[in-house]
Amino acid sequence: MALQIPRKLLTLLEAAAKDGASDLFLNVGRVPARRIHGTLETLAASEVEAEALDQLAAAALGVRGFQDVGETGDADVGLSLPGGQRFRLNLSRQKGHLAIVARVVPS
């Protein structure tokens, strides 16, 4: 069974690629932000939940890789979405929670 990316995060990733963002910043308890042409902008979205980031990480890394992040505190991995958008994810633990920076890989 494939792990699913939460709909809210999938929408944010797709929009980042479509809108020309270079990076999408996802931190627990904070509103998502993205960098477009060097300018950091917060998005009109609700705060990111820990469970959603954990699900995104598990979908990108697989169960074993997700467990490894819990032990090492960080990971880098590629992610391809069904629509063909590609990302390089940097995952790290901050204040006990997962944080993810998704860099858009141009197609």
Residue 106 has pLDDT above 60, yes or no: yes
pLDDT in tens, 6-53: 999 999 999 999 999 999 999 999 999 999 999 999 999 899 999 999
Q: Where are the beta strands (DSSP E) in the chain?
A: 23-27, 33-36, 39-42, 74-80, 86-94, 97-105
Phi and psi angles of residue 67, each rounded to the nearest 5 degrees, phi first? -65, -40
* Amino acid in position 32: P
* For residue 96, pLDDT beyond 80: yes
Residue 2 scores a pLDDT above 70: no
**Counting Cβ atoms within 10 Å, is residue 14 exposed (0-12), middle (13-18) or buried (19+)?**
middle
pLDDT of residue 1: 40
pLDDT above 90 (res 93): no
